[in-house]
């Protein structure tokens, strides 16, 4: 049971994460870095006449939505007397959990697949975590974190699959905040690895629906990269059960590349949530992701890491005209997390030397501005 008390008759006026504390499974401690309360940005230049929004999850303290889960799960770990925290991660969870562990005064171990973007590792190290770079993919890191945690007493596993229910529950706050700003939400498009963020968002919607604050549940759409898409694949084949991704993991959306090897039921859980709400799971290619990153960067001032750009990357395949409005794209992590993936604003950049005449520099800026993405 997660909720302790429910708001009597009206929602809290605020939009801050801890305004929703009564609906979060936290007791004695509150470990915070100012998470949540993220901006909701109307995408006015990409969709001038449409109700399409970006939920700016990259503005969390460590640059991704994971701070919501870490705030709740590290608070719970402290309340439960944990001696330390450990997690497997594709990078963002490691950055986040290590920051919150530092703030809580707890030691931290993170297990990441070898090849995780350097900036995410730098973040974890900056907060004093022990970083284990595990050969293989995320599922190998998952197994390594579980192996260590199983061998020691008193350490909490904050891997943000469904392993840690506190983290999933925390993501409901994304929906509470959307509701506070928009009221009814038509469609929510979410990048998914195993899917707990999407699950948490839908848990939030169901809670408000059951309490009579919401007329209809949003239509959920989960997006994966084609190089590791166990849930989207099962959805496309009309299956009821997700199986682990059988091939080597590929593709630039590394943060959501979870092959689910050893825990495919996590994918099945997400698939069922999508189906039960008439939602969909789709997979996008690297070129679609690059284009979405470019469009967000050049036209909306939003620097998204590859996984975070997948909701926009999926747009054309979704026949978006038929989706209920308003539509929210959850942009889950910042581009600086993975700068080598940043597409060709750089390649299209017109080179001009410092010291060129002001007229030449301005002319270059105007030509660059006129380039279509």
The residues binding ligand PLP (CB under 6 A) are 64, 90, 92-93, 160, 191-197, 255-256, 305, 307-308, 332-333
Min separation Cβ 153 and ligand PLP, Å: 27
Identify the three-state secondary structure at position 86: strand
Q: Are 154 and 275 in contact (CB under 8 A)?
A: no
Maximum alpha-carbon separation in the chain: 67
Of 227 and 333, nearer to ligand PLP (C-beta) is: 333
Residue with Cβ nearer ligand PLP (109 or 289): 289
Here the tokens at position 172 are: 């409901």
C-beta closer to ligand PLP: residue 256 or 274: 256
Residue indicated by tokens 């050893």: 262
Strand-strand pairing, 52-56 and 40-42: antiparallel
Give the nearer residue to ligand PLP in terms of CB position, either 15 or 120. 120
Query: At its nearest, how many Å lie between ligand PLP and the CB of residue 267?
Result: 10
Nearer to ligand PLP, 196 or 230 (CB): 196
Contact indicator for 58, 332 with CB cutoff of 8 Å: yes
> Measured from the CB of residue 92, what is the shortest distance to ligand PLP in angstroms?
4
The CB-of-305 to ligand PLP minimum distance in angstroms stands at 6
Q: What is the DSSP letter of 228?
A: B
Nearest distance from C-beta of residue 192 to ligand PLP, angstroms: 4
**296: number of Cβ within 10 Å:** 25
256 neighbors 291 (Cβ within 8 angstroms): no
Rounded to an integer, what distance in angstroms lies between the CA atom of residue 170 and that of residue 68?
6
């Amino acid at each position: 049971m997660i909720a302790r008390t429910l708001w009597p008759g009206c929602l809290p006026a605020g939009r801050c994460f801890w305004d929703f504390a009564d609906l979060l499974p936290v007791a004695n401690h509150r470990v915070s870095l100012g998470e949540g309360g993220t901006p909701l940005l109307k995408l006015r230049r990409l969709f001038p006449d449409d109700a399409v929004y970006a939920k700016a999850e990259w503005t969390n303290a460590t640059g991704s939505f994971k701070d919501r889960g870490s705030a709740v799960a590290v608070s719970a770990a402290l309340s439960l007397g944990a001696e330390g925290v450990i997690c497997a991660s594709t990078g963002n969870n490691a950055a986040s959990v290590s920051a919150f562990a530092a703030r809580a005064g707890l030691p931290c171990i993170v297990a990441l697949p070898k090849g995780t973007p350097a900036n995410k590792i730098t973040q974890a190290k900056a907060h004093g975590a022990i970083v284990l770079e595990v050969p293989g993919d995320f599922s190998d890191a998952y197994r390594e974190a579980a192996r260590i945690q199983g061998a020691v007493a008193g350490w909490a596993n904050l891997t943000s699959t469904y392993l840690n229910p506190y983290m999933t529950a925390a993501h409901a706050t994304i929906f509470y905040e959307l509701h506070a700003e928009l009221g009814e939400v038509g469609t929510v498009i979410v990048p998914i690895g195993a899917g707990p963020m999407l699950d948490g968002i839908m848990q939030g919607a169901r809670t408000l629906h059951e309490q009579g604050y919401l007329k209809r549940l949003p239509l959920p759409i989960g997006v994966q990269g084609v190089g590791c898409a166990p849930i989207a694949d099962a959805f496309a084949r009309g299956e009821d059960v997700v199986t682990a991704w059988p091939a080597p993991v590929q593709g630039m959306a590394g943060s959501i590349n979870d092959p689910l090897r050893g825990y495919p039921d996590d994918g099945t859980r997400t698939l069922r949530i999508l189906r039960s709400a008439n939602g969909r799971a789709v997979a996008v290619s690297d070129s679609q992701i690059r284009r979405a990153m470019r469009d967000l960067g050049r036209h909306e001032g939003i620097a998204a890491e590859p996984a975070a750009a997948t909701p926009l990357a999926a747009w054309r395949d979704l026949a978006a005209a038929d989706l209920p409005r308003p539509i929210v794209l959850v942009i889950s992590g910042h581009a600086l997390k993975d700068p080598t993936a940043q597409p060709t604003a750089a390649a299209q950049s017109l080179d001009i030397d410092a010291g060129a005449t002001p007229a030449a520099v301005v002319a270059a800026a105007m030509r660059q501005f006129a380039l279509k993405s």
